[in-house]
Structure 1
């Protein structure tokens, strides 16, 4: 049974961990967040927050702050490398009219700062989890030797989660045959690009981005192999990226011309396979630790944000942790894994390496009626049920 004031530890101070802590605070709990990094720094890439993420953040009282710090997007274009428009997506109209929020592009560091500012608790930084001892309740062992034994342990420590081994040992992320490059670029673009996202579906490469602030653009691009060979210096890598993507439609070439070679982030593309369970004993997983996904659906952060609210609701409404975790998994697991699977399918489509296959794919995308494309996207972005707002302590909801 949970005490009236249970000790709750959230391992991982990223988007999911901070959202979970904030949702718990809104329900009267006093969680402690343990973050591996020594300090929060204004680094990282951009994030597209779709309607479902903003609805949760609205429940927690921070959506307007995030929206004001980012860029509300009016539309997104899916284009071929030649520049022809395959689909034009309205990102603001119907969903904003119905729910009050459309889509917002924001710097990841800005989102984290908005969440931390809203928290009462102090995030304990420099606390990298080394192991979780399988006792009841579980004991978290940090690299500096610190040990904590909370009543509830939330593993929100990312796709390479250490906490996950205490729930489902031996699960490794599965790769996609591609590398992704990301960068935040200071660049002044024409007005038509100031509230518009773009995707370019090429031959073996998928690229795009969106504005995340005044004269600041978040760019990404994938390639089947490192560009150039692994180990190249930043200048050589940047030259190779400009060669690969320099003929893509605007604003990609201009953005790359202004990119700082040293600021390009290079990561492998991978996701987490279906887990047999999301919890064991006093330990429960959330966010990328439970369902880390490829970025092609733009839902990785959003699904972690949904997890945070649902988990806090379950803990608040159940006296026994295992019952709370079962209710949380029932609410979240099928949806999160469905979105993860969709992101993988989109990733495989977006990174096709056959010229014939990519031409057929682009013709098929262009042939889909726009209303069907919009309907499919809307089902993904708002197809979630949120806990009853009545128990959120008077937080204003849409």
Structure 2
């Protein structure tokens, strides 16, 4: 493969899942980027993540899918439930995902995934380097919080939904917030056997909750809660008690997991996304992952789309004559697909967090009545269109490749 960017100094700003995956993809293609991560050190903190089939196909291309499956929990199925426990939809992951694409879903702790990515890298990862601004996108300078500066040839902004690199590409962008909080936690508990390889979502009235096992005795839980439901106090113990009471009658394993929470286990963030950007690059600066298309979590595709960005961008940088041509190719390949899934996430978010009791009831009835053929088609179509840059995937006779 032609390595047209190998004389360029490439800086990846942000050492999360997107930044590290991009570094691996570039390194495997003969380049030597440097990763700059804001955190002072990598620690096993954070919550869980559900890697869907398209993310695993990218990791297979990078040669690390098996390690990720071994570190997490390979799910047999996922289910959408009503608050009473009625199954609205069940996705047998052998039926579509593994039959046509060899991979289902893997639930894993973010810290474990991050460690696998770091272990795969030989390039330099510099911690304690929080980017505050990028000046002059044609001959860029990155300014860091510690007062240092760098002058790379190419800057890849993988610094998340609150990206400072994005200010140099799309300076008028305003993050869009919803009147909803997101709760996440990882807890240690004894799960009954039927829940040890099952992911679930519970579509309630005004709340959307669920989770998945990420180890033999660890469970990742999440929920969206309207801000008006938030406890009046910010005391974490009171919040934990409120969560236990509120979800006590939800289907298992939600109550069992929540009962095991400690007072500091719940991580609370706002629910936000990035509006559609006119372009993902300017001069020598390009965006990837949440910096380019941060989306609501309801499609479960935020990390997967960032992972697809990584291989598409690395391929473009090593097969195009110059960085501008590479950025154009990358944006053309990724922008429409990420935009569609971002829109889907918004639509699912509106359904999942509706405050109308009538809409809540109608939604659950409608989801339950969806024909299996429609659900299977949607699942297959999303995976078929995975951005792998170099070749189509899956059974091309039964699932036509559309680029």
The normalised TM-score by structure 2 is: 0.94
Aligned-residue offset at 1:242:
1.2
Query: Separation in 2 of the partners of 1:123 and 1:6?
Result: 17
Question: Per the alignment, in what secondary structure is the counterpart of residue 261 of structure 1?
Answer: coil
Give the unaligned 5+ runs of structure 1. 391-398
Superimposed CA distance per residue, residues 199-236 of structure 1 (whole angstroms, 9 cap, x where no aligned partner)? 10000001000000111000001111165435421110
The answer as to whether partners of 2:316 and 2:330 remain within 8 angstroms in 1 is yes
Superimposed CA distance per residue, residues 55-99 of structure 1 (whole angstroms, 9 cap, x where no aligned partner)? 101111111100100001111111111111111111233321222
The answer as to whether partners of 2:81 and 2:200 remain within 8 angstroms in 1 is yes
Aligned-residue offset at 1:381:
3.4
The answer as to whether partners of 2:13 and 2:156 remain within 8 angstroms in 1 is yes
Aligned-residue offset at 1:263:
1.4
Aligned to 1:20: 22
Pair 1:226–1:211, CA change in 2 (3 A): farther
The answer as to whether partners of 1:46 and 1:107 remain within 8 angstroms in 2 is yes
Q: Aligned runs of 1:227-376 on 2, under 5 Å?
A: 227-229=229-231, 231-376=233-378
Query: Separation in 1 of the partners of 2:387 and 2:142?
Result: 32
The answer as to whether partners of 1:227 and 1:237 remain within 8 angstroms in 2 is no
Aligned to 1:147: 149
The answer as to whether partners of 2:67 and 2:116 remain within 8 angstroms in 1 is yes
The answer as to whether partners of 1:105 and 1:211 remain within 8 angstroms in 2 is yes
Query: Separation in 2 of the partners of 1:382 and 1:388?
Result: 13
Aligned-residue offset at 1:389:
6.5
Q: Aligned runs of 1:129-208 on 2, under 5 Å?
A: 129-208=131-210
Superimposed CA distance per residue, residues 346-386 of structure 1 (whole angstroms, 9 cap, x where no aligned partner)? 01100011111101110111111123123213322342241
Question: Per the alignment, in what secondary structure is the counterpart of residue 127 of structure 1?
Answer: coil
Query: Separation in 1 of the partners of 2:229 and 2:121?
Result: 40
Question: Per the alignment, in what secondary structure is the counterpart of residue 61 of structure 1?
Answer: coil
Aligned-residue offset at 1:309:
0.2
The answer as to whether partners of 2:6 and 2:30 remain within 8 angstroms in 1 is no
Aligned to 2:382: 380
Question: Per the alignment, in what secondary structure is the counterpart of residue 219 of structure 2?
Answer: strand
Query: Separation in 1 of the partners of 2:379 and 2:61?
Result: 22
Question: Per the alignment, in what secondary structure is the counterpart of residue 263 of structure 1?
Answer: coil
Q: Aligned runs of 1:209-228 on 2, under 5 Å?
A: 209-225=211-227, 227-228=229-230
Which stretch has the larger CA shift, 308-317 or 176-185?
176-185
Equivalent residue for 2:36, pick from 34, 37, 59: 34
The answer as to whether partners of 2:4 and 2:319 remain within 8 angstroms in 1 is no
Which stretch has the larger CA shift, 157-166 or 168-177?
168-177
Aligned-residue offset at 1:135:
4.7
Equivalent residue for 1:83, pick from 75, 82, 85: 85
Superimposed CA distance per residue, residues 115-139 of structure 1 (whole angstroms, 9 cap, x where no aligned partner)? 0000001310000001101152211
The answer as to whether partners of 1:228 and 1:236 remain within 8 angstroms in 2 is no
Query: Separation in 2 of the partners of 1:234 and 1:371?
Result: 45
Pair 1:291–1:269, CA change in 2 (3 A): same
Aligned to 1:71: 73
The normalised TM-score by structure 1 is: 0.95
Aligned-residue offset at 1:100:
1.8
Query: Separation in 1 of the partners of 2:324 and 2:22?
Result: 17
Aligned-residue offset at 1:276:
0.6
Aligned-residue offset at 1:2:
6.5
Q: Does 1:103 align with 2:95?
A: no
Which stretch has the larger CA shift, 287-296 or 140-149?
140-149
Give the unaligned 5+ runs of structure 2. 393-403
The size of the alignment, in residue pairs, is 390
Aligned-residue offset at 1:3:
5.8
Aligned to 1:112: 114
Query: Separation in 1 of the partners of 2:384 and 2:23?
Result: 23
Pair 1:131–1:2, CA change in 2 (3 A): farther
Query: Separation in 2 of the partners of 1:380 and 1:138?
Result: 36
